[in-house]
Structure 1
Amino acid sequence: MSTGEPDYDRLLRSNLERVFNERNAARRTAAVAELSGADPVMFESANVVRGQSAIVDAAGQLLAQFGADFAFVPIGHAVGHHGLARLSWQAGPRTGPVAVTGTDVAEIVDSRIARLWVLLNPTA
């Protein structure tokens, strides 16, 4: 039985892998175009990023800042309903240690990310 809900896990995992782990700008651009609405907004703790190209650039800058071995890894499965979903993740060098953990919370409209809140967990 179909609930009419999008596949929240696939969508948020794809966003993490194909946007925030993708170092190739052309592939990152294609992923944002596929996964996001026409005018997405990403809310970070100190910044608001508006539009597909700005999100592509912000992800690229983040990857450049942390180096080639840095990656985001999902923790568990994304859950959601009625257009709201969340996915927890951790990030750091692929061989460890974990540098940061957080959660992406997304508003989903027409099976695409309309708004994304990036929530960082406090460090110990």
Structure 2
Amino acid sequence: MPDTETGSAAGEPDYDCLLRSNLARVFNERDAATRAAALADLFVDDPVMFEPTGIVRGRAAISAVAGGLLEQFGPDFRFVPEGDALGHHGLGTLHWRAGPEGGPVAVTGIDAAEIVDGRIARLWVLLDPPHP
């Protein structure tokens, strides 16, 4: 008979809170110092973010990417969670949309995160293909 492990929600991180906090406190935060403090709370010491166009290493580099997106797309640009995050055994996902607040959706996607000791260790940003 194969060995199996029985798991429960006990000891699992709050995936929804963690991934929503990442959107709100990191990717929607325009103040660099506040964003850096959020990264220290939410991410491990040496996180890695995988984007479609490259790999970003470290909290400072992730902060620079988030700040650059907000600067590039203007003062009303926001990331908004869609539904609740799902997760178990250290992997969480959250669907999101982004665009000008109250305006048309510019992009949608999914964040997939490896969670270690309650913080994000690796984050994959998966973008949905553009709609015609």
TM-score exceeds 0.5 = yes
Letter in 2 for 1:49: V
The question of 1:55 aligning with 2:83 is answered no
1:22-37 map, 5 Å: 22-37=29-44
Q: Distance in 1 between matches of 2:63 and 2:40?
A: 10
Give the unaligned 5+ runs of structure 2.
Answer: 1-7
* Matching residue within 78, 86, 105 for 1:79: 86
- Name the TM-score, length of structure 1 as normaliser: 0.98
The question of 1:107 aligning with 2:111 is answered no
Q: Secondary structure at the match of 2:29?
A: coil
TM-fit CA distance, 1:16: 0.4
Letter in 1 for 2:76: D
C-alpha deviations, 1:61-83, integer Å up to 9, x for none? 11100000000000000010000
C-alpha deviations, 1:31-81, integer Å up to 9, x for none? 001000010000000011000111111110111000000000000000100
C-alpha deviations, 1:95-115, integer Å up to 9, x for none? 110000000000000000000
Q: Distance in 1 between matches of 2:89 and 2:114?
A: 9
Letter in 1 for 2:22: N
State how many pairs are aligned.
124
What's the RMSD between the two structures over aligned residues?
A: 1.0
The question of 1:13 aligning with 2:20 is answered yes
Q: Secondary structure at the match of 1:3?
A: coil
Misfit runs of 4+, over 4 Å: none
- Give the percent of matched residue pairs that are identical in Structure 1 and Structure 2: 67
State which structure, 1 or 2, has the greater radius of gyration over its C-alpha atoms: 2
